[in-house]
Amino acid sequence: MESFAVIWILALFICFDLAVAEEGILPRCNWAGIYNFGDSNSDTGGISATFSPVSSPYGMTFFKKPVGRLTDGRLLLDFLVEYIGLPYVSAYLDTINTDYRHGANFATRGSTIRKQNLTILQGISPFSLDIQTLQFTQFKARIIDLWSSNQPFADKSQLQRPDDFSKALFTMDLGQNDLSVGFRTLNKQQLRAKIPDIINELIISVQQLYEQGARSFWIHNTGPIGCLPVTTSKVKNPKPGYLDRYGCVRYQNNIAMEFNKQLKARVIKLRSELTDAAITYVDTYTAKYKLISNSKEYGFKEHLKACCGHHENDVHIFCGTSGIVNGTRVLGDACANPGTYMGFT
């Protein structure tokens, strides 16, 4: 959400680069663009352009209107491109006023690494990571073809130059929804057994992108899923030990940490396999959990409740929608001060 939370997490990623730049050891990052693959954590308009448009009050804090993001303001990806000095990354699936000179965003809300036997009505996007990777493959091929052709009316002013693909940063932020589906459909042992397969699918996409010239990767781990408002709002009369000291579902966070442990090990191995690549493992879990555990110190009023929507007594009215509660229509509206909440939806 648009708050100090995102800024603080971003600071963790860039502090090393800032430090060495100040010491004159290395220059600041100078990527030609960003190609992002992900879910709602980095969706800048893909799902909104494809299905139902994101409506108010999304976008209320920074953009002052809905702009395809499932938040009240900017995403971590937005802060990243601001720091690098690039424009906001356009959603690949949004064809109106779209600028691809500095990359494209293939992320959509509800995306998973592995294909799921679920639909968008069940909260899962049809654009899993393999599809997003195929979209990039087609995107790159068509751009190269356009630049190499002599089509008299071809407009290339909004397209990346072919030589810039290898100079771009490729960011990957998925996995949260794979685990969320697993919590609903698998027992603990079955879900743990699935983790290596999920990670392997992500690695396959990285390898495919590498074969197409990608050389700089940021691979984000998954955050503390057990602390998400959509999770904690469903907990009623928990047994002792079910929640941790901050009110998060312990088991779900343990699974997320196991996923991250295996992902980190596989990324380290991948570095020795893709010798020309720079692959960074980004630890969002630690950043977010530290923020949650010190929420009041950072000025947050609520760390487990969503600012937008109505979630009480097993009634869930999501942000920007409405529903009937005890015979009365209730709006899934935003709270008065989004900056005091860690979660918007």
pLDDT in tens, 219-278: 999 999 999 988 898 888 899 999 999 999 999 999 999 999 999 999 999 999 999 999
Please enumerate, as own/partner, the contacts of 263-271 that have beta carbons within 8 Å and a separation of 24 or more: 263/175, 263/199, 263/202, 263/219, 263/221, 264/221, 266/199, 266/200, 266/203, 267/219, 270/203, 270/206, 270/207
Mean pLDDT in the chain? 89
- Average confidence (pLDDT) over 266-293: 95
Distance CA 30, CA 256 (A): 32
Cα separation of 250 and 256, whole Å?
A: 10
Tell me 324's DSSP state. Answer: E
- Indicate the CATH number of 4-307 among 3.40.50, 3.90.320, 1.10.10, 3.30.1240: 3.40.50
Nearest-angstrom CA–CA distance, 54 and 78:
17
Distance CA 96, CA 161 (A): 20
Split at pLDDT 50, 70, 90, the class of 7 is very low
Higher pLDDT among residues 211 and 303, named by residue: 211
For the beta carbon of residue 311, count every other beta carbon within 10 angstroms: 19
Under 8 Å between Cβ of 111 and 177? yes
Query: Where are the chain's structural domains?
Result: 4-307
Quick one: pLDDT at residue 313? Answer: 67
pLDDT in tens, 155-204: 788 898 999 999 999 999 999 999 999 999 999 999 999 999 999 999 99
Per-residue pLDDT at 97? 84
pLDDT digits (tens, 9 = 90+) for 44-79: 999 999 998 999 999 999 999 999 999 999 999 999
The pLDDT of residue 284 is above 50: yes
pLDDT in tens, 76-122: 999 999 988 999 999 999 988 899 999 999 999 999 999 999 999 88
Strands 341-343 and 302-306: parallel
> What is each CA distance from 302 to 164, 264, 286, 335, in whole angstroms?
43, 31, 19, 11
Structure-model confidence comparison of residues 157 and 308, the more confident one: 308
Judge whether residue 4 has pLDDT over 80: no
Rounded Cα–Cα distance for residues 91 and 338 (Å)? 25
Whether pLDDT at 13 is above 90: no
Which has the minimum average pLDDT: 28-32, 81-85, 234-238, 318-322?
A: 28-32
Q: Kind of pairing, strands 216-220 and 169-173? A: parallel
pLDDT for the residue 28:
57
pLDDT at 18: 38
Cα–Cα distance between 261 and 263 in angstroms, integer? 5
pLDDT at 152 over 90: no
